[in-house]
Every structure is written in structure tokens, then in C-alpha cells.
């Protein structure tokens, strides 16, 4: 039983995003619930840490406008204005890949 509990805990830690850093902009923690910091085999959810800020901003704007269809990301993106999106994108771009 203890081994199972440890395995579940380890899996949860791998799937979790980075701990919310003190310098992270408001809203960045909403990304780390799905976007892991380490590559997970078979996952269709990409890592965003270390990606170009311009790419993150483009995707978020496309999700927000509905240009890029989604089930969840469009709703999340609509919760941020352009300034917030830019700040979140810049912060994730500065994180190690």
C-alpha cells in the first residue's frame, strides 16, 4: 500500500507545474495545472516553459478570439487581457525549458 501511495504522489508531482514563484505574474499558476515542466510521454499538452513569449502570446490571443478552437483553453484565455497575457508569456519564456 505504501508503494502505491508513493507512486501516486510521485506521479502527481511530475504532472504538476512549477511551484508558484514569487516573481510569477498573477494568473501564471492557472497554466501550470495542465502544462507540466517536464516532458510526459504521450501527453498532448505541450510544455510552455522556455517557449518564445511571442508564440505563447499568439496562441493565447487565438484561443481568446476563437480562431484556434479548444475545449478549455479558450475559456482560460478569455480570463486574461492583453497585458496579463503578455506578462504571463514573458514569465514562462524566461523559465528553463
In which domain, by residue range, is 43 found?
A: 2-94
pLDDT at 97: 79
pLDDT at 9: 36
Contact 78, 64 (CB under 8 A): yes
pLDDT at 21: 65
pLDDT at 40: 85
Q: What CATH number corresponds to the domain at position 62? A: 1.10.760.10
> What's the rounded Cα separation, in Å, for the pair 37 and 35?
7
Digits of tens for pLDDT over the chain (97 positions)? 444 433 333 343 334 444 446 689 999 999 988 998 778 888 899 999 999 999 999 999 999 999 999 989 999 999 999 999 999 999 999 999 7
Contact 36, 47 (CB under 8 A): yes
pLDDT at 18: 44
The count of domains in the chain is 1
> What's the rounded Cα separation, in Å, for the pair 43 and 59?
18
pLDDT at 8: 34
Amino acid at each position: 500500500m505504501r508503494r502505491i501511495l508513493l507512486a501516486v504522489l510521485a506521479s502527481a508531482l511530475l504532472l504538476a507545474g512549477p511551484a508558484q514563484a514569487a516573481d510569477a505574474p498573477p494568473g501564471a499558476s492557472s497554466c501550470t495545472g495542465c502544462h507540466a515542466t517536464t516532458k510526459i510521454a504521450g501527453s498532448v499538452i505541450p510544455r510552455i516553459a522556455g517557449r518564445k513569449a511571442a508564440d505563447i502570446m499568439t496562441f493565447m490571443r487565438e484561443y481568446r478570439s476563437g480562431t484556434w478552437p479548444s475545449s478549455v483553453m479558450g475559456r482560460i484565455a478569455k480570463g486574461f487581457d492583453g497585458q496579463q497575457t503578455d506578462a504571463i508569456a514573458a514569465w514562462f519564456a524566461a523559465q528553463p525549458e
